[in-house]
Chains A and B, each alone.
Chain A
Amino acid sequence: MKKQQINHVTCRFASKSQNEALARSIITGFLLPLDPDAEELADMRCAVSEAVTNCIVHAYRNGDGIITLGAKAYSDRSVKIVISDNGCGIADVEQARKPLFTTLPGEDRCGMGFSIMESFSDKLTVISHVGRGTKVTLTRRLNDRT
């Protein structure tokens, strides 16, 4: 049977640090009806927080901007989450995804964001264009509930 989309949501919010918690609440509210286990929920909350924080601190350098958070749920219990910005973009995505790589070492950044997103998702894709923005897509299939 082909998988079907069963729910979707798209939100746009300002690039402000207090919206990191908002983004986590949105994804929690979206996932809860799917009955994820506690670990899955915590993983997805953390992954979303990483991506949104990257938009705020890197894409928009703590300035004004719009962040888009989208989520889709499918009949096979897979979830697709997209976080995108129209910020500075990433010149070398492969390098940016390496553990411990950061362009802001002086600001207590450890370069672990993408590694964390990767370990908390089944698949992570990053598409970026310098000067135009970045789109991060996380997919994860939730465990079957008995």
Chain B
Amino acid sequence: MDALKITLSEGVLTAKLSGDMDHHGVSEVRETIDENLYRAMPTVLNLDLSGVEFIDSSGLGLILGRYEKARELGTQVVISNPSKRTKKLITMTGIDKMMTIKEEVKK
């Protein structure tokens, strides 16, 4: 399974993250997300966390870092499909108050 899958559709750049969002995991995807963000300059950056199995402050740092970069470009950041566990950490650190969290109904 790829740690990162990027898709662009109608101004929405989706970065689907999978596996471990720890310091090791995020260092492998950070650059690719940023390259795509600067190239596409999307209206929305959608961070799809449905495949994330583990997250700690390094993963939260990745989200916040992209949020800062996106804001400079006028891009809105949306977090989608966090697991219950991921949501707990997002809430603990107040990220849920900065960004929209979208939970899709799984078919």
* A-to-B contact residues, CB < 8 Å: 17-18, 20-21, 24, 42, 45-46, 49-50, 53, 56-57, 107-110, 112-113, 115-116, 119
Nearest CB on B from A50, distance (A)? 6
Count, chain B residues at interface, CB 8 A: 21
Residue of B nearest to A111 (CB): B57
The answer to whether B56 touches A119 (Cβ under 8 A) is no
Interface pair A21/B56, CB less than 8 Å apart: no
CB-defined contacts of B26 to chain A, threshold 8 Å: 108
Known: A53-B58, A112-B93. A18 touches B65 (CB 8 A): no
Say whether chain B's binding surface is mostly helix, strand, loop, or mixed: helix
Find out whether the CB atom of A49 lies under 8 angstroms from the CB atom of B56.
yes
Cα A21 to Cα B89 with chains together (Å): 18
Which residues of chain B are within 8 angstroms of A115 by Cβ–Cβ distance?
93
Contact in complex: B23, A57 (CB < 8 Å): yes
| B30 close to chain A: CB less than 8 A | yes
Can you list 25 pairs linking A and B with CB atoms under 8 Å apart? A17-B23, A20-B20, A20-B22, A20-B23, A20-B24, A24-B54, A42-B85, A49-B56, A50-B56, A50-B57, A53-B56, A53-B58, A57-B23, A108-B26, A108-B30, A108-B58, A108-B62, A110-B57, A110-B60, A110-B64, A116-B56, A116-B57, A116-B89, A116-B93, A119-B92
